[in-house]
Amino acid sequence: MLRLLAAALLFATPALAQPAPTGPEPDASLLRRTPALSLAAPPKPLAAPLSIGGAGWGPFKRLCVTRHLIQPDGKEVLETEPSCFTVTSAKPQGTTWQLEMLSDPLRGGPRIAFAATRDAAGVVANVSITPPEGAATPPPAMLARLQNIFRIMLEVHGLRATTIAPNAHFLLPLQLAEADPDTTAEGGGFACSPSGTATLRTRPVLVATCRATARTNLGDEAVGRVDIVGHFAIDTETGLILQHRYSSFLFMEKDPKKVMPNLRWRGISRQDLE
C-alpha cells in the first residue's frame, strides 16, 4: 500500500530523487505523460446509456500490473517486479464464476494459490488462500486479512454491473481503507468520465478518463499523498478492466517534522487483463 511505498522511498538512489517545487503535479501534466491505451481505433462518443457487466468473468487467463518510476531525465525505471497472476481455472456455475488463480513469485518467493467467486453483479466473494507446500498455515486473523487483501485486489480490477449515461460521471471504487486503515481514497475511489466506446483485443470496451487521490498517515503528523490520472478500458460484458494506463505523483502533503522532506516521485502504471 501507499505507506509501504512511501517508506521504501527513503532508500531511493540519488538518481531518482526529484526535489521539485512543493505541491501536486497538475492533472493536465499527469494526463500528458500517460501512455495510450492499445485500442483498435479512437473511442466513439456514447450516444445512449451503456450497460456494463452482467457476466462474472470470461475467457481471461492472465492479469499483470507493471509500475515504473520516471527519472528527472524522463527515462522509466522499473519500480518493483510486475504483479501478475494466472487464472488456472474459470468455471461458470449459473451466473457465478468459480475462479482458481496462481500468483507469480515475487523476489524469489513462492507462488500463492488462491480461489474466489465473481458473480453477474461483479461482486467478488468466497476468497480462499492455499499456503505454499511446506509452509505453515497463517494464524486465522492473518489468513483472514490476507484473503481480504486478495479480494480487494480483484475488486479494484473491475466495475460492478451498472449503466453509464453519456457525459455522466461514475465511481470506480478503491477499497484502500479495508486493507490499510491509515490509507484512504478521496471520494471512495476513481472519479471517472466516459470518453466513448471502442474495441480492445476484439472485445467491446467503455473507455474512461479517471482520477483519484489517496492519502496515508505515516506517523509523526506526516501525510503522504498520491494523485493518479489516466485512461481505463472497461470490458462491457463483464465490467472487468481490460487495460489501464495512468500516471501518478507521490509527495508529502504534510510533513511538519521533515520525515521525508524531498519525497516527490513520478510514476506510470500499466495493467493488462488478457
* pLDDT 10s digits, 107-127: 778 899 999 999 999 999 999
Give the three cell numbers for residue 225. 499523498
Confidence of residue 21 (pLDDT cuts 50, 70, 90): low
Number of H helices, E strands in the chain: 4, 15
| Mean pLDDT score across all residues of the chain | 90
What percent of the chain is predicted at pLDDT more than 70?
Answer: 92
CB 58 within 8 A of CB 240: yes
DSSP helix/strand/coil, 232 = strand
Do the domain assignments include residue 239?
yes
Q: Is the pLDDT of residue 6 over 50?
A: no
| pLDDT of amino acid 137 | 84
Do the domain assignments include residue 112?
no
Do the domain assignments include residue 114?
no
Q: Is the pLDDT of residue 214 over 90?
A: yes
| pLDDT of amino acid 22 | 66
* pLDDT 10s digits, 228-261: 999 999 999 999 999 999 999 999 999 999 988 8
Do the domain assignments include residue 253?
yes
Neighbouring-strand partners of residue 214? 185, 226
Do the domain assignments include residue 89?
no
Q: Which of 5-9, 68-72, 269-273 has the lowest mean pLDDT?
A: 5-9
* Distance separating alpha carbons of residues 93 and 213, to the nearest angstrom: 37
Q: Could you write out the DSSP letters of every residue in 52-96?
A: E--SS--S--EEEEEEEEE-TTS-EEE-S--EEEEEEEEEEETTE
Helix, strand and coil content of the chain, in percent to the nearest 5, comes to: 15, 45, 40
* Distance separating alpha carbons of residues 201 and 240, to the nearest angstrom: 14
Number of domains composing the chain: 1
Do the domain assignments include residue 224?
yes
Confidence of residue 135 (pLDDT cuts 50, 70, 90): confident
* pLDDT 10s digits, 172-196: 999 989 889 999 999 999 999 999 9
Confidence of residue 80 (pLDDT cuts 50, 70, 90): confident
Confidence of residue 9 (pLDDT cuts 50, 70, 90): very low
Q: Is the pLDDT of residue 56 over 50?
A: yes
pTM value is 0.90
| pLDDT of amino acid 13 | 32
Residues of the domain holding 229: 2-77+160-273
| pLDDT of amino acid 106 | 76
Do the domain assignments include residue 129?
no
Do the domain assignments include residue 21?
yes
